[in-house]
């Protein structure tokens, strides 16, 4: 439930959620682990449809973080010293 809540919070607030999985972790308790993964993927489908959540590679996220962001600041908010 913690993972699903964190996914929801990221989707609702425009954040990033990193799901870290290792395939070898699924060799033990396979049925339980794949059931959990299925629930996560179904929840992602819902968040994608409801909040436009996207799946990105780590490289894509890194590119987004490194990209400069333009910020509009109202002229009256910038003090001018003569």
Cβ-Cβ contacts under 8 Å for 50 (sequence gap 6 or more): 11
Residue 49: the pLDDT is 97
Which stretches within 14-69 are classed as H helix?
30-51, 58-66
pLDDT tens for the chain, 82 residues: list them: 899 999 999 999 999 999 988 888 788 889 999 999 999 999 999 999 999 999 999 899 888 888 877 666 666 655 555 4
CB atoms within 10 A of CB 26: 14
């Amino acid at each position: 439930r913690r993972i699903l809540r964190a996914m929801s919070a990221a989707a609702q607030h425009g954040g990033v959620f990193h799901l870290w999985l290792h395939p070898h972790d699924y060799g033990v308790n396979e049925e339980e682990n794949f059931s959990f993964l299925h629930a996560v993927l179904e929840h992602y489908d819902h968040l994608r449809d409801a909040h436009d959540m996207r799946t990105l590679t780590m490289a894509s996220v890194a590119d987004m973080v490194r990209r400069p962001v333009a910020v509009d600041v109202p002229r009256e908010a910038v003090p001018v010293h003569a």
